[in-house]
Chain A
Amino acid sequence: MSWRLVARKDVADAIRQYHLHLTGVVAVLLFGGTAYVTSRTFEGIGAPPGAVAGALATLGTFLVPLLAAGFSQGDVVGMRERGDLKLLLGLPFARRDVILGSVAGRTVVVWASVLFGVGAATLVALARGANVAFDFLLFATGMIGVIGAVFVAIAIGISASVSTETRAGALAIAAYFLFVFQLWNAIPMAALWAVNGFALPPSSPTWVDVVINCNPVLALWNVFAAVLPGNPSFVARLPSTPPVYRTVPFAVGVLAAWLVGPVALGARRFDRTDL
Chain B
Amino acid sequence: MAAIHLDGLVKQFGDVRALDGVDLSVRDGEIFGFLGPNGAGKSTTIDVLLDFVRPTSGTATVLDMDAQAESTAIRARTGVLPEGYHLYDRLTGRQHVEFVRESKDLDVDPVAALERVGVADAVDRRAGGYSTGMKQRLMLGMALVGDPDVLILDEPSSGLDPAGVRDVREVVRDEAGDGTTVFFSSHILSQVEAVCDRVGILRGGRVVAVDTVAGLRDAVGTDATLRVTVEGDPDRVEAGVDAVREVAGVTSVGRAGADVVVRVEDRGKIEALHALEDAGLAIRDFETQEASLEELFLAYAEGDG
Q: Which residues of A contact B (CB under 8 A)?
A: 2, 5, 9, 13, 16-17, 82-84, 86-87, 89-94, 272, 274-275
Question: CA–CA, A274 to B16, complex, Å?
Answer: 15
Could you say which of B47, B99, B100 contacts A275, with CB atoms under 8 Å apart?
Answer: B47
Question: CA–CA, A90 to B52, complex, Å?
Answer: 9
**Chain A nearest CB, measured from B149 CB (Å):** 13
Given contacts A89-B52, A92-B75, A92-B103, contact A16 B90 (CB under 8 A): yes
Question: CA–CA, A272 to B54, complex, Å?
Answer: 8
Across the interface, name the chain B residue whose C-beta is closest to A84.
B86
**Chain B nearest CB, measured from A77 CB (Å):** 14
A94 cross-chain contacts in B, Cβ below 8 A: 71-72
A-B contact count (CB 8 A): 64
Instruction: Give the interface size bracket for B toward A.
Output: 20 to 34
A9 touches B90 (CB 8 A): no
Whether a CB of chain A sits under 8 angstroms from the CB of B112 is no
A2 cross-chain contacts in B, Cβ below 8 A: 72, 103
Whether a CB of chain A sits under 8 angstroms from the CB of B303 is no
Against A, the Cβ 8 Å flags (1 = close, 0 = not) of B69-90 are: 0011101100011101111101
Given contacts A83-B84, A84-B85, A275-B52, contact A91 B75 (CB under 8 A): yes
A84 cross-chain contacts in B, Cβ below 8 A: 85-88
**Chain B nearest CB, measured from A274 CB (Å):** 4
B54 touches A90 (CB 8 A): no
Within 8 A of A (CB), among B189-226: none
Question: CA–CA, A94 to B50, complex, Å?
Answer: 11
B47 cross-chain contacts in A, Cβ below 8 A: 274-275
Within 8 A of A (CB), among B32-56: 47, 50-54
A-B contact pairs, 5 of them (CB 8 A): A84-B85, A89-B50, A90-B143, A91-B80, A274-B13
A93 cross-chain contacts in B, Cβ below 8 A: 72, 75, 103
Within 8 A of A (CB), among B258-305: none
Within 8 A of A (CB), among B61-75: 71-73, 75
Could you say which of B53, B90, B103 contacts A91, with CB atoms under 8 Å apart?
Answer: B103
B121 cross-chain contacts in A, Cβ below 8 A: none
B52 touches A87 (CB 8 A): no
Question: CA–CA, A243 to B52, complex, Å?
Answer: 49
Across the interface, name the chain B residue whose C-beta is closest to A17.
B90
Across the interface, name the chain B residue whose C-beta is closest to A275.
B52
Whether a CB of chain A sits under 8 angstroms from the CB of B235 is no
Could you say which of B13, B76, B87, B88 contacts A92, with CB atoms under 8 Å apart?
Answer: B76
B75 touches A90 (CB 8 A): yes
Question: CA–CA, A57 to B286, complex, Å?
Answer: 92
**Chain B nearest CB, measured from A17 CB (Å):** 7
Within 8 A of A (CB), among B96-138: 99-100, 102-104
Within 8 A of A (CB), among B163-197: none
**Nearest 6 pairs between A and B by C-beta?**
A83-B86, A90-B80, A92-B76, A275-B52, A91-B103, A92-B75
**Chain B nearest CB, measured from A8 CB (Å):** 9
**Chain B nearest CB, measured from A87 CB (Å):** 5
A86 touches B82 (CB 8 A): yes
**Chain B nearest CB, measured from A18 CB (Å):** 11
A13 touches B103 (CB 8 A): no
Question: CA–CA, A42 to B99, complex, Å?
Answer: 56
B53 cross-chain contacts in A, Cβ below 8 A: 274-275
Could you say which of A17, A87, A92 contacts B86, with CB atoms under 8 Å apart?
Answer: A87
Across the interface, name the chain B residue whose C-beta is closest to A9.
B99
Question: CA–CA, A274 to B143, complex, Å?
Answer: 22
**Chain B nearest CB, measured from A160 CB (Å):** 15
User: Most chain-B CB neighbours within 10 Å: which of A5, A83, A89?
Assistant: A89
A274 touches B52 (CB 8 A): yes
Question: CA–CA, A14 to B125, complex, Å?
Answer: 19
A9 cross-chain contacts in B, Cβ below 8 A: 99
B51 cross-chain contacts in A, Cβ below 8 A: 89
**Chain A nearest CB, measured from B100 CB (Å):** 6
Question: CA–CA, A197 to B35, complex, Å?
Answer: 65
**Chain A nearest CB, measured from B99 CB (Å):** 7
Given contacts A87-B85, A274-B53, contact A5 B102 (CB under 8 A): yes
Question: CA–CA, A89 to B72, complex, Å?
Answer: 9
Across the interface, name the chain B residue whose C-beta is closest to A16.
B90
A5 touches B90 (CB 8 A): no
Question: CA–CA, A9 to B71, complex, Å?
Answer: 22
B52 touches A86 (CB 8 A): yes
**Chain B nearest CB, measured from A161 CB (Å):** 17
Given contacts A90-B75, A91-B75, A92-B76, contact A274 B54 (CB under 8 A): yes
Across the interface, name the chain A residue whose C-beta is closest to B44.
A274
User: Most chain-A CB neighbours within 10 Å: which of B53, B99, B100, B103?
Assistant: B103
